[in-house]
Structure 1
Amino acid sequence: MSQNKCVSKQTRTYQPTYQLNPRKRFNVENVEKILKRIINSELEEVEYSEKLIPDLCLNLTENIRTAIKEENYDRYRIIVAVTIGQRRQQSVHMFHSFLWDHERDAFASHNFENCHIYANVIVYGVYFD
């Protein structure tokens, strides 16, 4: 004589745990100050050399990225683009286009010139959820 017992299993439902806003927003003014400080100190005495500029761009990119990551912008992907060229009475136009969230994503830029080179540095803070 077996008894059939209906055992009902309770299922737990969890609410989503995602977060739509960062705890610390990407502060454009602070990032611009960091860019200005690093770029002006590193490029003040630099002359253009085809052999040295690629390594200089990589070093600047790493220095800027680590300085901005020390600001602890949580859940942001930091993208740094450094362009350095020789000044020769030319004009340069740069255009960047992205699809992003205007409420959470931001960018900061800094332009530098001396009598030998020009430099354009852009830092993107893209919210990464």
Structure 2
Amino acid sequence: MSERKSLPKQVRIYQPTYQLNSKKHFHQENVKKILQKIVDSELKEIEYSEKIIPDLCLTLAENIRTAIKEENYDRYRIIVSVSIGQKRQQSVHVFHSFLWDHQRDAFVTHNFENCHIYANVVVYGVYLD
């Protein structure tokens, strides 16, 4: 009988295919331009009213979020915070707190004022891995 030599079985080793960086990073200057254009056009002639301001905050945040999502920032969650209040010679402090990756996460802020209202809008681009 003939003897067969058994060859060792080859095992293929693949490198990980996960992606650590996005293809299109959150570009703060472009987001700032979008934010200024939308906020200034929407709030230019608005007067304070307790009935319309809550709905205005929601629609403004949704319009900003959809406009920024059209930029197709890869692997980023877009978070929009809109605060609108009546101007009555008061001061306002807004504070947000997040766990933050300084290399990948970013934010843009815009403040708006007319003679009736003030608005503070913050857009966060938080990287998803």
Whether these two folds match at TM > 0.5 is: yes
Structure 2: tracts of 5 or more residues without a match: 1-5
Structure 1: tracts of 5 or more residues without a match: 1-5
* SS of 1:118 mapped into structure 2: strand
* SS of 1:80 mapped into structure 2: strand
Give 2:69's aligned residue: 69
* SS of 1:19 mapped into structure 2: coil
Which amino acid in the other structure matches residue 119 of structure 1?
Answer: A
Q: Deviations over 1:76-125 (max 9, x none)?
A: 00000000000111000111121111000000010000011000000000
In the TM superposition, what are the counterparts of 1:43-122 in structure 2 within 5 Å?
43-122=43-122
What TM-score comes out, normalization by structure 1 length? 0.90
Deviation at 1:15, TM superposition (A): 2.1
Q: Deviations over 1:52-95 (max 9, x none)?
A: 00100010011000100011101000000000000111000111
Following the alignment from structure 1 to structure 2, what is the Cα–Cα distance between the partners of residues 48 and 18? 49
Deviation at 1:12, TM superposition (A): 4.5
CA RMSD of aligned residues (A): 1.6
Give 1:23's aligned residue: 23
* SS of 1:77 mapped into structure 2: strand
* SS of 1:37 mapped into structure 2: helix
Deviation at 1:9, TM superposition (A): 6.9
Identity of aligned residues (%): 77
Deviation at 1:20, TM superposition (A): 1.1
Which amino acid in the other structure matches residue 96 of structure 1?
Answer: H
Kindly tell me the number of residue pairs found equivalent between the two proteins: 124
Following the alignment from structure 1 to structure 2, what is the Cα–Cα distance between the partners of residues 31 and 114? 22
Which amino acid in the other structure matches residue 43 of structure 1?
Answer: L
Deviation at 1:30, TM superposition (A): 0.6
Give 2:40's aligned residue: 40
